[in-house]
Structure 1
Amino acid sequence: MSLEQATKADQPATDDDAMLVRVQREDFSIDEELKRVRRRSKRIGGIAMFLGTARDRSKGKDVDGITFEHYEGMAQKKLREIRERAIREFGVIEVLVLHRYGEIAIGDNIVLIIAAAEHRAEAFRACQWAIDELKQITPIWKLEHTPEGEVWVEEHP
C-alpha cells in the first residue's frame, strides 16, 4: 500500500468517497464525474474513461429504448469490489464506477468508468478490465424495447 493509500485509509469517508461507486436512475455529468476523480490526487497524470450509451440497433434489429433492472445492494457491492480490485491490481490512484437503471432513451448515458493513474498505460488497463468485469459479475439486466416487443439481453459482449 502506498503512503497516499494508507493516508486515505486513515481518513473518514467523504461524500466523494460514497459517490465513486453508484447505481442511480438519473443521468450524470461526465464533467462533474471527471472533476470528482481529479480531486482525489495531484499525482494523477493519465485518465482513461469508458462511456456506454444506448444505441438504436442490437443484433441487426431496431431498438426504441432500454430498461435496466438491478439487484439493489448486491449491484453496488459488486461495483465496489470492482473499484477496489482495479486500484489494487492495476496500481491506479482512483476508479469511478457508475451505472444507471430504469428507462434509458436512445442516445442517453448508461455506464461510466473513469480510471486515474500516474501514467496512461495503467489507466487504460484498469478501465478496460473494470467495464469487462462489470458486464460479467454485476447483477444488472438489460431489457431492450423493439418494434417487435421486449427482449432480455443475456450475453455480455
Structure 2
Amino acid sequence: MEQITLASVRDSPLSVDEVLTAVQDPRAGGTAVFIGTVRDHDHGRDVARLGYSAHPTVEASLRSVMEKVLADTSVPGRSVVRLAAVHRVGDLEIGDLAVVVAASAEHREEAFAACRRLIDDLKAQVPIWKHQAFADGDDEWVGAP
C-alpha cells in the first residue's frame, strides 16, 4: 500500500479535506495536520501581498523529502501509515492556505513527529520560493537560491 498518498504543488486553492482524506487509513490511530496560511505581517512589517514560485522539479523533490521522512520516523509496531502534502504557487491573498501537510500513524506520537518533520523539511529542502511585497513598498525573496 502506498504510504505517500498526495504530493502536489499547484496554482489552485488548497483543500484541508483533500489532505485529510489522503491520509485516512483503518490502521491509523492518530492523524496530525499542519496548515500554513498567508499572514498580514512578517518580522513586524505589514505584508501587502505575496507569491510563491517553484522549480520545475518541485514535485520530485517533495516526494523525495517525504520518502526520507517515512524512512526516518517509522519504527516496527509504531509506524507512520500515510503522508500527504500540498503547496500552493502563484499569487496568494492574506488568509489563503499556502501549504497543508498531514501524517497518519498507528500512534499519535509518530503522527506528530512525522507531520512536524515533513513541514520542516519541506520548508528547508523543497525548491519553493516566496516573494513578499510589504505595505511600505519594499519587497523580498525568501528561500531563493
- TM-score scaled by length of structure 1: 0.82
4+ aligned runs moved over 6 Å, structure 1: none
Q: Deviations over 1:17-48 (max 9, x none)?
A: 4xx0000001122123211221xx31011001
2:138 equivalent in structure 1: 149
Task: Quote how far apart the aligned CAs of 1:154 are.
Answer: 3.9
Q: Secondary structure at the match of 1:35?
A: helix
Q: Deviations over 1:82-115 (max 9, x none)?
A: 2212222211011001110000100000001100
Richer in helix (by share): 1
User: For residues 87 and 14 of structure 2, what CA distance do their matches in structure 1 show?
Assistant: 10
1:67 equivalent in structure 2: 51
Q: Check conservation: 2:62, 2:122, Cα contact below 8 A.
A: yes
1:36 equivalent in structure 2: 22
Does 2:45 correspond to 1:45?
no
User: For residues 84 and 71 of structure 1, what CA distance do their matches in structure 2 show?
Assistant: 19
Q: Secondary structure at the match of 1:142?
A: strand
Gaps of 5+ in 2: 75-79
Task: Quote how far apart the aligned CAs of 1:117 are.
Answer: 0.1
Gaps of 5+ in 1: 1-7, 10-15
Task: Quote how far apart the aligned CAs of 1:75 are.
Answer: 1.1
User: For residues 142 and 66 of structure 2, what CA distance do their matches in structure 1 show?
Assistant: 25
Moved more, 146-155 or 24-33: 146-155
- Larger RCO, structure (CA 8 Å, separation 6 or more): 2
Q: Deviations over 1:36-77 (max 9, x none)?
A: 221xx31011001111000000111000111000001x2111
Task: Quote how far apart the aligned CAs of 1:133 are.
Answer: 0.7
Between Structure 1 and Structure 2, how many residues are aligned?
137
Percent identical:
36
- TM-score scaled by length of structure 2: 0.88
Alpha-carbon RMSD: 1.6
Does 2:92 correspond to 1:108?
no
Which residue of the other structure, out of 94, 100, 108, is the alignment partner of 1:120?
Answer: 108
